[in-house]
A and B are shown apart, each in its own frame.
Chain A
Amino acid sequence: MNAIIDFLQPYYQHIRFVHLTAVMVWVWSTSVAYAYYLLPVFKAWRRNPDDQQIIELRNWVMERFDHGVIYEHIAFPIVIIAGIMLYIVGGHSTAENWLLLKLAIVIGVFIPIEITDYYLSHFGGNKHKLRKAGSAQDYERGIQLHWWFFLITTAVVMLGGTAVIFLAVVKPF
């Protein structure tokens, strides 16, 4: 462990740069697509659930969003790996309360959310794959499951994400 610390020590600021850049990509890369493309269409669908034109647009937006979230999902592992490196090299410890609170949010909230998001966007819940599989019912269930995911996680991500960035920058206690 000491050899790793000695090797990485001169690069602490570089690792910090990678960590912060990845955090920015992770937090903001989907924001415009989500707020101004996905949400208006899904709201229109919720108000007009039987409108086939809206359903067609909703499905298209959802499939494009599944694809566009790739940036976020490449950035997240980089955030975690660089974060672990910073913890080891920077001489941090559990004595720092701001860091403990941040770790609690990242481990308990963001890692489970991202694992679910990986599944919904790229693996079993990927809408393009569900469409190719040919079952309209499974496809609709996949879309609705992803909408449930957005409903449950949006506020948590916004509040938790702001809290994590505030704790990391201000270090209030």
Chain B
Amino acid sequence: MSPTTPIAFSGNPKLYRRQAIVLSLIVHVWIYLFFVATKYLGQDENWLSVWQLPLFLLISAVITAWMHYRWVMRLDAQYGKGSGWELKEVTVKLPILRERR
């Protein structure tokens, strides 16, 4: 195979922020619905009137979205000094796995 043709990576901070919010909301809405439905079907308990659960999940969703965004920005080298790593030009031979017969 010829050397890889560079394709621009489509990730950017704006997209990461939107993803973090949407993902956090989806996960927390799922947890709420799963919890309430299972309690109703399995225990015949009505948790729709319990206000502590949605409040807890709302706070958790905000914190999770914020942490997720910060995390992705660091992973994708958008934040941080990166001072722990040097970028020196070195050529090495990389071992490639031999095909099994």
Contact = CB atoms under 8 A, between A and B. Distances in A.
A52 B96 CA distance: 17
Contacts of B38: 94, 100, 103
A70 to B, nearest CB: 12
Interface in A133-165: 134-137, 139-141, 144, 147-148, 150-152, 154-156, 158-159
B19 interface: yes
Contacts of A144: 7, 9-10
B43 A94 contact: yes
Interface size grouping (class) on chain A: 35 or more
B94 A60 contact: yes
B23 A152 contact: yes
B75 A141 contact: no
Interface of A is mostly: helix
Contacts of A52: 3-4
Contacts of A97: 35
A13 interface: no
B9 A46 contact: yes
B59 interface: no
A44 B94 contact: no
A140 B3 CA distance: 10
A49 B97 contact: no
A140 B35 contact: no
B35 A101 contact: yes
A156 B27 contact: yes
Nearest to A67: B97
Given A55-B4, A151-B11, A44 B75 contact: no
B9 A49 contact: yes
A109 B24 CA distance: 11
Contact of A151 (B7, B43, B75): B75
- A-B pairs, top 7 by smallest CB distance, nearest first, are A94-B42, A155-B71, A104-B34, A43-B77, A155-B68, A46-B77, A60-B94
